[in-house]
Amino acid sequence: MSDTDAIDPELTSDFEVGQDNVQVLGLDVHNPVFFVSSVIIVAFVILTLIFGEASSTFFNWLRPALTDTFDWPLLMAANVFVLFGLALIVTPLGNIRLGGVDARPDYSYLGWFAMLFAAGMGIGLMFFGVSEPLSHYASSFGGAVVENGVRTDWAPLAGALNDPEAARLNAMAATIFHWGLHPWAIYAIVALALAFFSYNRGLPLTLRSAFYPLLGERVWGWPGHVIDTMAVFATLFGLATSLGFGAEQAMAGLDFLFGLGVADTAKVILILLITGVALISVVAGLDAGVKRLSEINMALAFLLLGFVLVLGPTAVIASGFFENTVAYAKNLLPLSNPFGREDTNFMHGWTAFYWAWWISWSPFVGMFIARVSRGRTVREFITCVILVPTVVCIVWMSTFGGSAIDQVINQGNEAVANSDQAVMLFEMLKSYPLTQIASFIGIVLVIVFFVTSSDSGSLVIDTITAGGKVDAPVAQRVFWATFEGIVAIVLLIGGGLGALQAAAVATGVPFAALLLLMIWSTYKGLMQEHQMLKNK
């Protein structure tokens, strides 16, 4: 039986990448995705600037309204991604190779992992590596939230009341929960769908292709246009949130070292400067730009990690890694449970926001991972993209978060716990020798993560708005990299980090429903491929 005979007719198409594109002013763009996305984003920027105070009020209302309303659907959706990903590892579907049986990886494991982390969570790990464990340790994970002597909210994990050690383990388990299996499963499944339908089916590397088994040729019509336009918005606003966090922390670090201040004007200038550097990386291309910067960033990240591990409470960190892993595994089910929860502060303020943020980021990270993952088997791909990064995140959080909590418990360092979130990392490093050098490395890490996120984000949005073309004119990536910086600036001015988070949640909630349909579509495609290989 030939390959053509084995392929289900519902999974084939005569569509040619770029056939619906139009050439305008030297650009090669997909009609109408590029134009609709661009016009709406430009209008959003203008209206947010014109109605600044009203925009701030609206954004500050929007995020809690969405997370309070859609908390359990977001938690359920993330659980589905984890279960589907783990199932692929242990089933025969894991033997399928992305790109066909003869395909081989384009990048070494080192280069591949470096790009995964640079695109995936770099800025977030820097911002939340110290601040989130400390926040959980100081709040409901001590047993209950108490206001004016009255308990107002209960912690999701029991046994921490008046017990610092139990509170520490609960705080680390909750932190790892937000950076472990669930977010990486979301990224992995989106990336797998994009890679499979592009490399194994020859469809464009764009979100609409992942729905071909469900929609057939309609993916090239208005349903596909809607899917890709939603992906553009989700990617742009999810990325803008990360860039906002990066700008906040980089500015806080520069103020910590040099006393430059943290005014909005300084943040705007910083974003403009870093966006300029990102444009240089955009022009340099994937291998010379993102790949090289990602490898530099990984080296700096491990240098800072080693610095804290060696000069900090090494024994506490080492034992903490195993204790935190056990605590995470032990509490994974109660933390994942979306029903009957009394810990509404934690579920709405942290988990629901995180899941919406990761989902809004998933087209960006997923497509970037797909771009660099040809030649991997499904089992290898899922294992490396879900399990390996989870282990690294546990190491990172145990090192930075564990060191910070140890300073609070054993050294009485209340300053680190009472600092603003953006400056907590630098306050922790204050207790170490060579503080200025370590802090400067931290600032450089945030900035380079900012650059690689902006560069790879513009690559992804450009691919979507070019109808799946991966070799569109560089000017288009320059356009999107510029707009990513502008949107981050506008949202910071129009409401600060709250506005950025509201934008990420607003795009992540509807996108979650779309991605659940994508799981079913991907399953159908993989099953058909498996059957085809069996019949050969």
Mean pLDDT of 199-227: 91
Segment 472-491, tens digit of pLDDT: 677 777 888 888 888 888 87
Instruction: List C-alpha distances in Å: 191 to 186, 196, 199, 225, 362.
Output: 9, 8, 12, 19, 8
State pLDDT tens for residues 360-397. Answer: 888 888 887 888 889 999 999 999 889 888 988 999 99
Residue range 176-198: mean pLDDT, rounded:
94
Q: Each residue of 421-449: pLDDT tens digit?
A: 889 999 999 989 888 999 999 888 888 87
Residue 77 banded pLDDT, cuts 50, 70, 90: very high
The CATH number given to whatever domain includes residue 243 is 1.20.1740
Mean pLDDT, the chain, as a whole number? Answer: 82
What pLDDT, in 10s, does the model give residues 279-319? 887 777 655 556 677 777 778 888 999 999 999 899 999 99
CA distance 319 to 464: 45
pLDDT at residue 524 tops 90: yes
d(CA 176, CA 75): 15
pLDDT at residue 22, as a whole number: 56
Q: What is the mean pLDDT of residues 261-266?
A: 78
By residue range, what is the domain housing residue 77? Answer: 3-534
pLDDT for 9 beyond 50: no
- The percentage of residues in the chain with a pLDDT greater than 90, rounded to a whole number, is 30
Q: Which residue in the block uniquely carries the two structure tokens 């899917």? A: 227
Residue 122: pLDDT above 80? Answer: no
In whole angstroms, what is the distance from residue 366 CA to residue 81 CA?
A: 13
Q: Do 240 and 59 form a contact (C-beta atoms < 8 A)?
A: no
Q: Are 246 and 123 in contact (CB under 8 A)?
A: yes
pLDDT for 7: 41
- Where is average pLDDT lowest: 8-22, 102-116, 198-212? 8-22
Amino acid at 295: E
Rounded Cα gap, residues 235 and 477, in angstroms? 14
Phi, psi of 22 (to 5 degrees): -125, 150
Q: Which residues contact 211 (CB under 8 A, 6 or more apart)?
A: 219, 223, 224, 227, 517, 518, 521
Q: pLDDT higher for 186 or 12?
A: 186
**Count of all residues that appear for the chain in the document:** 536
Name which of 179-183, 390-394, 414-418 the model is least confident about: 414-418
Name the amino acid, one letter, at 410.
N
Q: According to the model, what pLDDT value does residue 288 have? A: 58
pLDDT reported for residue 124: 79
Question: For residue 165, what are the contacts with CB-CB under 8 A and spacing of at least 6?
Answer: none
- The pLDDT of residue 512 is above 90: yes
Amino acid letter, residue 439? S
* 74 has pLDDT over 80: yes
Q: Amino acid letter at 264?
A: D
Strands 150-154 and 144-147, how do they pair? antiparallel
- Name the domain count of the chain: 1
- Nearest 10 degrees: CA dihedral of 410, 416, 421, 424? -100
Find the helix or strand (DSSP H, E) in which 146 lies: strand 144-147
> Beta partners for 296?
none
Strand partners, 21: 30
Mind giving me the DSSP string for 79-108?
Answer: HHHHHHHHHHHHSGGGG-BTT-TT---SS-
- Greater confidence (183 vs 53) lies with 183
Identify the three-state secondary structure at position 126: helix
